Structure 1
Amino acid sequence: MSERSVSKQKRGKRWYTVIAPENFDRKELGSTFADEPEKISGRTVESTLGELNDDQGANNVKLTFKITDVGSDAAYTEFIQQELTRDYLRSLVRRGASKIEANVTAITKDDYRVQLQPVAFTTKKADRSQEHEIRRIMTELTREAITGHTYDALTESVVEGRLSSAIYGDAKVIYPLRRVEVKKFSLEARPEEVEAEEEAAVSVDEGDVAVDVDDETEA
């Protein structure tokens, strides 16, 4: 490719400032380069909670955003995932103590399907019944948090540590805990995707009923 062609391509491209959602104070996440706005829609951008809040102590929390709307010189995002770094999780593990995990998938008040993975670390080794009860509490409180909040409100609860604190407060009476964290929080499906899946499931069920009726008629 000639230098003139390369120069022409560069002139046709422009930089877009990537903006975090409102519940992350519309902070700048960086910038991206494209010749057409449509080409950056759907791109993902990673950051850390530490970078957004200028707090090095929170660099162990990775955040992922997805570009959903593009303006003249800015790209707007939605939050799609929070995940703790592997190094941080390894630092929480202690020999002779219990690591208790749960995995909860549910739908928020405004019909987003999300998955949360809380994890608790005990001070010493808990027995099996205690681990089971702590996991039950984690699962119950996490499910209540999901179904009782909108997606944005749930995001704030997780990112700000309120859900972890609630689990810690209820579960520590079962066995002394050293730490509770949300290991991973991810968006599984947006409302329109959830609705489409439900409609497809209903269609399949109706088809099964129709087949059953035909079979009975033939019999």
Structure 2
Amino acid sequence: MAVARGRRKVRKVRDKWKEKVWYEIYATPEFGGVFIGYTPANDPSLVLGRVAETSLKDLTGDPTKHMHRVYFKIFGVTGNKAIAQYYGHDTTREYMKSQVRRRRSKIDAIVDVTTQDGYKIRTKATVLTAYRINTKQKSDIRKMMVEIIKNMANEKTFPQYVQAMLFGEMAEKIKEAAKKIVPIKNVIIYKSEVLSLAKKEENEGYVREEEVSA
């Protein structure tokens, strides 16, 4: 006896990827409002808090900055544009390894500072000497590094401080002071991390949905 079978209903599979909107990511105006990249999302609120990565070379057009990666965190969305604040930077492991040589001393300093306008940033710097030095000299250089970094934070706004880290002002200042103690091969501000934003910006995350184009 034949058994009649009903036809199976074919479910339509939604292509969620096609439903996503591509948001353009831009740095805040104090960092030139430069274009950083794209990020996809099917809801603008999902874009908030994402971290975009770019190289300092791509950001500035300066090929000598290829070893530094810069991170921006999205805190606002208007239409299909996402606004991102500087979040930190680091330096490639390959570059750092290439700078370390035998018979040299390496002095590191990790300093948490607050800028003039209330941003908290962790800054990591290293000094490479031309030859090996003693413990007293290392201690003197490290104290000097910490003092310079803290003073620069006290004197500068957040954008000014970041530019000092990324474009060499901080490294040059440390080098000038350190070479009065021993000959210096290189100074690298190899990493930074924003620990907290200024009060006004902590509450500034926004999504203007009425302007978002579907």
Structure 1 length-normalised TM: 0.82
Kindly provide the amino acid, as one letter, of the partner of residue 115 in structure 1: R
Higher radius of gyration, 1 or 2: 2
Partner of 1:182: 189
Identity of aligned residues (%): 27
Partner of 1:16: 23
Give the stretch that moved more between structures: 163-172 or 14-23: 14-23
Whether the aligned pair in 1 keeps the contact of 2:104 and 2:132 (CA below 8 Å) is yes
1:156 to 146, 160, 163: 163
Q: How many residues align?
A: 192
Partner of 2:127: 120
Give the stretch that moved more between structures: 21-30 or 57-66: 21-30
Partner of 2:14: 5
Question: For the aligned residues, what is the CA RMSD?
Answer: 1.9
Does residue 84 (structure 1) correspond to residue 109 (structure 2)? The answer is no
Kindly provide the amino acid, as one letter, of the partner of residue 85 in structure 1: T
* TM-fit CA distance, 1:62: 0.8
Greater fraction strand: 2
* TM-fit CA distance, 1:82: 1.2
2:82 to 75, 88, 93: 75
Does residue 96 (structure 1) correspond to residue 103 (structure 2)? The answer is yes
Q: d(CA) in 2 for partners of 1:87 and 1:161? A: 20
1:34 to 37, 41, 54: 41
Greater fraction helix: 1
Cα distance per residue 1:2-49 (max 9 Å; x no partner): 55522xx45542111111222332121111111111010100001110
Partner of 1:46: 53
Does residue 107 (structure 1) correspond to residue 114 (structure 2)? The answer is yes
Structure 1 pair 2/57, CA: closer, same or farther in 2 (3 Å)?
farther
Structure 1 pair 128/54, CA: closer, same or farther in 2 (3 Å)?
same
* TM-fit CA distance, 1:118: 1.2
Give the stretch that moved more between structures: 21-30 or 118-127: 21-30
Runs of 4+ displaced beyond 4 Å:
1-4
Cα distance per residue 1:51-101 (max 9 Å; x no partner): 112233211001010001101111110001011111111111010010001
Structure 2 length-normalised TM: 0.84
* TM-fit CA distance, 1:50: 0.7
Kindly provide the amino acid, as one letter, of the partner of residue 163 in structure 1: M
Q: d(CA) in 1 for partners of 2:194 and 2:17? A: 35
Whether the aligned pair in 1 keeps the contact of 2:31 and 2:159 (CA below 8 Å) is no
Bigger relative CO (Cα 8 Å, ≥ 6 apart): 2
Structure 1 pair 3/19, CA: closer, same or farther in 2 (3 Å)?
farther
Q: Which runs of 5+ in 1 are unaligned?
A: 196-219
Q: d(CA) in 2 for partners of 1:171 and 1:66? A: 34
